[in-house]
Structure 1
Amino acid sequence: MRRQPAKALLIDLDGVLRRWDPAVPAAVEQKYGLSSGALMSTAFTWDLLRPAVAGELTDAEWMSLVADRLPLSAQDARAAVAEWQTHRGTVDPEVLAFVREARAAGRPVGIATNATDRLRDDLAALGLADEVDLVVSSWELRIHKPAPEYFARAAAAVGLEPQWILFVDDDDRTIRGARAAKLLAYRWSGPDGLPYLRGALGLP
């Protein structure tokens, strides 16, 4: 029996709709004599990342803690982090076109992301604030993916039962959590998946 098309789309921001240029942190690391990958590995240490996306730390507080852990003088560490953070990524034009197609076809689209309190400013700076119908932010909910409550709150924000929502993310653990919460979840690995996603939403 053929599945009925999904009625709404929830899409991750980082790694799906927003792309990051690895050359940016690499250049900062080289400039300040840091080892390759030091900025990302420090920032994404779980004891720093979790409170930052769970609404327990502001983005500024998170970055301050990252600077404290870098093997640099306090002044250089703060400068390196600030320079790194001036880059806020770029929008994937193919994914944005897909989002616009979905909305034009009457499918509500939301960004569902683990984020800090900087999210809304980033969306405005990237020109995405008016490109979606809703934003489901872990920082605002005080609960992060892949917690079951996150997906329940996301579905409630959309106003549909989970099985009618197509959820797109680039993280395996998050995809497993979304499927456990009964959402139709697709593991993003690049634009090659767009034909499948269009079909899942019943787009022409």
Structure 2
Amino acid sequence: MRDRARALFIDLDGVLRRWDPAPMIAVEVKYGLKPASLLETAMSWDIYRPAMAGEITDAEWMSLVATRLPLGDDESAAAVAEWQAYRGEVDPEALAFVREVRAAGRPVAIATNATDRLRGDLDALGLTGEVDLVISSWELKVHKPAPEFFTEACVLVGQLPRHVLMVDDDDRVIRGARSSGLSGYRWTGSEHVPYLRKVLDLPE
């Protein structure tokens, strides 16, 4: 039987932060772009990976996105700027879970693939003070699901991997966490919080 988790790593996007597609679609409609084309362009591996691994800044990443849009230079820059203006919303149920974990004395870290814009986003979303630690791929210079990310993250939180639970919405990250010795659980919503409470041995 696995040891009970003593610390929680929680992902930001898709778990603590959710995205309403409407504001992003509105930008694409305004500029005559195909639906989801901005996101698909931004997620192109050759520019997404270096942005997450701390090799380029968020501004440089977005500049590369703009160069790939089928618009003029000024329009492309404007479209990207408007698309980036929306920074998502906090998922209240995920935040309530984080607060419950911390109230029980378990440290909580946001462990996320992100750019150098992360800290400002967390401040704007009111999340900075809601966790004990922020572990960013941009700052570590390695991104999930690389084993080095989890190894360094566990060192930072001061726990052995077997004592850490990783909650993420990406199957690849969960597999990577488990391969690195952590417990891993794929987040699909708050319906499984009772199970996660047991993994963390929280009081009833």
Name the TM tier (shorter chain).
Answer: over 0.9
Aligned residue number for residue 130 of structure 2:
131
Q: After TM superposition, give the deviation of residue 24 of structure 1 in Å.
A: 1.6
Aligned residue number for residue 145 of structure 1:
144
The 5-angstrom pairing of residues 62-73 of structure 1 reads 62-73=61-72
Q: After TM superposition, give the deviation of residue 4 of structure 1 in Å.
A: 3.9
Distance 2:148 2:11 in 1: 17
Instruction: Give the secondary structure class of the aligned counterpart of 1:13.
Output: coil
Q: Deviations over 1:75-107 (max 9, x none)?
A: 111101100111110000011011000001000
Distance 1:48 1:23 in 2: 25
Instruction: Give the secondary structure class of the aligned counterpart of 2:151.
Output: helix
Distance 1:71 1:193 in 2: 43
Q: After TM superposition, give the deviation of residue 115 of structure 1 in Å.
A: 0.2
Gaps of 5+ in 1: none
Aligned residue number for residue 118 of structure 1:
117
| Greater Cα offset, 142-151 or 194-203 | 194-203
Aligned residue number for residue 28 of structure 1:
27
Aligned residue number for residue 39 of structure 1:
38
* Matching residue's letter, 1:6: A
Question: Among the aligned pairs, what percent are the same residue?
Answer: 67
Gaps of 5+ in 2: none
| Count of aligned residue pairs for this structure pair | 203
Aligned residue number for residue 166 of structure 1:
165
Distance 2:51 2:28 in 1: 22
Aligned residue number for residue 81 of structure 1:
80
Instruction: Tell me which stretches of 4 or more aligned residues in structure 1 moved more than 4 Å.
Output: none
* Matching residue's letter, 2:63: S
* Matching residue's letter, 1:30: V
